[in-house]
């Protein structure tokens, strides 16, 4: 469970962003997924809805309801920054980094890379002992 200073910091951040507690509807619902009888009995999943923007957050990351409340509010702040304010968050930066890594190389950089590989292969061939046929 988060300490009071973390809650205070989160509420300050929400206030700075313009997310008022009166605009947020909070519900506690039963979670889903694995967990058996316990997950079917307890309502530890937190559902938040920001009425002015219509943003919804559902959090079931922890077993504790209080922890899920904290995480859900933090998630709501991040989504609000991304969508409404257009500020790039760490999660969005990580997504962009992966997208750049998966992006196809340009023809020029690909040919340059292949040339470097063939030169490296030639160097390795020159290192072999004379008369060594592999």
Distance separating alpha carbons of residues 57 and 19, to the nearest angstrom: 14
pLDDT at 21 over 80: yes
Q: What is the pLDDT of residues 32-80, one digit of tens each?
A: 888 888 888 889 999 999 999 999 999 999 989 999 999 999 999 989 9
pLDDT at 29 over 90: yes
Residues 6+ apart with CB under 8 A from 50: 19, 23, 24, 56, 76, 80
Where does the pLDDT of residue 123 fall: very low under 50, low under 70, confident under 90, or very high at 90 and above?
very high
pLDDT at 134 over 70: no
Lowest mean pLDDT among 17-21, 84-88, 114-118: 84-88
Q: What is the pLDDT of residue 129?
A: 82
The reply to whether the predicted model has a pTM over 0.75 is: no
Q: What is the pLDDT of residues 87-115, one digit of tens each?
A: 777 888 888 999 999 999 899 999 999 99
Q: Which domains, and CATH codes, for the chain?
A: 4-91 (3.30.160.20)
Residues 6+ apart with CB under 8 A from 92: 82
């Amino acid at each position: 469970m988060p300490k009071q200073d973390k809650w205070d910091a989160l509420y300050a951040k929400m206030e700075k962003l313009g997310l008022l507690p009166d605009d947020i509807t909070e519900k506690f619902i039963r979670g889903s997924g694995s967990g058996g009888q316990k997950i079917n009995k307890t309502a530890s999943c937190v559902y938040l809805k920001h009425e002015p923007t219509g943003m919804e957050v559902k959090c079931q990351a922890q077993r504790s309801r209080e922890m899920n409340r904290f995480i859900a509010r933090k998630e709501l702040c991040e989504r609000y920054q991304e969508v409404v304010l257009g500020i790039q968050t760490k999660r969005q930066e990580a997504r962009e980094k992966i997208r750049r890594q998966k992006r196809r190389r340009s023809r020029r950089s690909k040919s340059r890379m292949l040339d470097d590989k063939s030169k490296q292969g030639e160097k390795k061939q020159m290192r072999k002992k004379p008369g060594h046929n592999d």
